[in-house]
Amino acid sequence: MSDLKTTYMGLELKNPIMAGSSGFTSTVDKVKELEDNGIGGVVLKSIFEEQIMLEADSIIKSGDSVNADIAADDYIKYYIQQNNLNNYLKLIEDLKKQVSIPVIASVACVSDKGWTDFTESIENAGADALELNTYILPFESKIKSKEIEKKYFDIVYSAKKHISIPLAVKLPYYFTNLSRMIIELSKTGIDGLVLFNRFLKFDIDIESIKIQPGGIFSAPEEISVPLRWISLLSDDVKCDLAASIGIHDGYDAIKTILTGATCVEIASTIYKNGPSYIGKMIDQMEDWMKRHSFKSINNFKGKMNQANVKDPQQLERAQFMKYFSGHDELV
Ligand SMILES: Cc1cc2nc3c(=O)[nH]c(=O)nc-3n(C[C@H](O)[C@H](O)[C@H](O)COP(=O)(O)O)c2cc1C
């Protein structure tokens, strides 16, 4: 009998498949449906720093966190009306009464300005942990890399002052030195890193000749991003790692655990296959564990991290050469 239990940031998960923040984690009924289908835990739909910090009008006057584009201003007003902070706290309170899986709150943030006080209310409402979705796209070529990196540390230290529940940071992968950023952030006392945050894709509609968002859902091959970095760094990070992006079935979840992740946070596959697919993912994990005689997650967690590879850069270079010269016959 395979045992899928694991512990993420001190929270007991009955299995490592967590629902990442998305529309599927925005109401009590939807979370209950995920729980009924076997999910190990949930990260709630994010509230935005802008919602917490200011009334819509004052955001617009200050022009601080959003650009002064009128359509964007109108959208923020609309969003704030629809998504009252008290509703968010009530969602946490209600969920803690009605589900038994861990409930992680989520704030999407770009700065450490003011909003972090609100994390106390999130803790008081009963959230088991908090995940910060740091969504900072480095648009400004004049800003130095180290100034952008500092923002992440400021956000972490500011949030940590207000809460004692576990704190996770969901990171993008656009950094000058991603390895260093991950290792250094893991030393700040945070409990988890979610690798990675998937930024909205950029695309162009060539008929209207306008910018349009690219695919909202990930493709299965995008899993190579978390796999590579978790495999490279899992032995050196000082906190738990959750894998996100491109995990579309139970076998994908197995791959991330082999690299050293503690659990996965999924969204696209739930949108594509529905909540009932979670049961199938669990079956796939159990099937693989049985076939390979692994009785528990810890029996194979981190087996494929690269701590024992002497020179990963050299290995990568060798694979690159082999792969590209190996395809000459296709020309
Ligand atoms: C429709 C949709 C809404 C999402 N909303 C949020 C959100 O509010 N906060 C957040 O941190 N991530 C959000 N995400 C990102 C997911 O939590 C996840 O990190 C990302 O989609 C990569 O995982 P996947 O490949 O399984 O989709 C959203 C994803 C989707 C598809």
Task: Give 205-216 pLDDT, tens digit per residue.
Answer: 999 999 998 889
State pLDDT tens for residues 215-246: 899 999 999 999 999 999 999 999 999 999 99
Q: What is the pLDDT of residue 213?
A: 86
At residue 113, φ and ψ (nearest 5 deg) are -80, 110
CB 194 within 8 A of CB 265: yes
Q: What is the pLDDT of residue 110?
A: 87
Does 61 or 79 have the greater pLDDT score? 79
State whether the beta carbon of 216 lies less than 6 angstroms from ligand 1. Answer: yes
Q: What is the pLDDT of residue 66?
A: 44
Instruction: Say what percent of the chain tops pLDDT 70.
Output: 86
State whether the beta carbon of 247 lies less than 6 angstroms from ligand 1. Answer: yes
Would 292 be classed as within a structural domain? yes
Give the three-class secondary structure for 10. Answer: coil
Would 121 be classed as within a structural domain? yes
Q: What is the pLDDT of residue 60?
A: 43
| pLDDT over 60 at 41, yes or no | yes
CATH number of domain containing 67: 3.20.20.70
Distance 239 CA to ligand 1 centre (A): 22
Q: Which of 44, 83, 196, 198 to mutate to test the pocket of ligand 1 (most atoms within 8 A of CB)?
A: 198
Would 313 be classed as within a structural domain? no
Mean pLDDT of the region 153-157: 96
Q: What is the pLDDT of residue 52?
A: 77
Res. 310 pLDDT band, cuts 50 70 90: low
Res. 170 pLDDT band, cuts 50 70 90: very high
Does 63 or 189 have the greater pLDDT score? 189
State whether the beta carbon of 301 lies less than 6 angstroms from ligand 1. Answer: no
Cα Rg of the chain (Å, integer): 20
Distance 199 CA to ligand 1 centre (A): 9
* Minimum mean pLDDT range among 86-90, 221-225, 256-260: 86-90
Report the distance separating Cα 167 and Cα 245, nearest Å: 20
State whether the beta carbon of 134 lies less than 6 angstroms from ligand 1. Answer: no
Token pair in block for residue 95: 């969920």
Helix axis angle for 28-36 and 85-98, nearest 10°, is 30
| Residue at 326: amino acid letter | G
Mean pLDDT of the region 68-79: 61
CB 130 within 8 A of CB 66: no
Print the domain residue range for 282.
6-305
Question: 191 CB contacts (<8 Å, ≥6 apart)?
Answer: 9, 10, 129, 166, 167, 168, 239, 240
State pLDDT tens for residues 176-202: 999 999 999 999 999 999 999 998 888
State whether the beta carbon of 186 lies less than 6 angstroms from ligand 1. Answer: no
Token pair in block for residue 52: 């917490």
CB 191 within 8 A of CB 9: yes
Would 317 be classed as within a structural domain? no
Q: What is the pLDDT of residue 50?
A: 79
Does 271 or 314 have the greater pLDDT score? 271
**Mean pLDDT taken over the chain:** 89
Would 283 be classed as within a structural domain? yes
CB 132 within 8 A of CB 71: no
CA dihedral 172, 173, 177, 182 (to 10 degrees): 60
Atom index in ligand 1 nearest the CA of residue 196 equals 19
Displacement of CA 264 from its chain's centroid (Å): 9
Would 310 be classed as within a structural domain? no
Q: What is the pLDDT of residue 239?
A: 98
- Which residues of 142-208 form beta strands (DSSP E)? 167-171, 192-195, 202-205
| pLDDT over 90 at 325, yes or no | no
Does 125 or 113 have the greater pLDDT score? 125
Distance 21 CA to ligand 1 centre (A): 5
State whether the beta carbon of 262 lies less than 6 angstroms from ligand 1. Answer: no
Would 106 be classed as within a structural domain? yes
Res. 273 pLDDT band, cuts 50 70 90: very high
Distance 250 CA to ligand 1 centre (A): 18
CB 50 within 8 A of CB 65: yes
| pLDDT over 90 at 133, yes or no | yes
| Residue at 258: amino acid letter | L
Mean pLDDT of the region 59-64: 46
Distance 291 CA to ligand 1 centre (A): 32
Instruction: Say what percent of the chain tops pLDDT 90.
Output: 72
Atom index in ligand 1 nearest the CA of residue 218 equals 25
State whether the beta carbon of 277 lies less than 6 angstroms from ligand 1. Answer: no
Q: What is the pLDDT of residue 64?
A: 45
Would 84 be classed as within a structural domain? yes
Structural domains in the chain (count): 1
Res. 55 pLDDT band, cuts 50 70 90: very low
Burial profile 267-279: b = 16 or more Cβ within 10 angstroms, e = fewer: bbbbeeeebebbe
CB 138 within 8 A of CB 164: no
State whether the beta carbon of 51 lies less than 6 angstroms from ligand 1. Answer: no
**Cβ–Cβ contacts within 10 Å for residue 86, how many?**
9
Report the distance separating Cα 10 and Cα 167, nearest Å: 11
Name the residue among 101, 81, 90 with its Cα closest to residue 33.
101
Atom index in ligand 1 nearest the CA of residue 216 equals 31
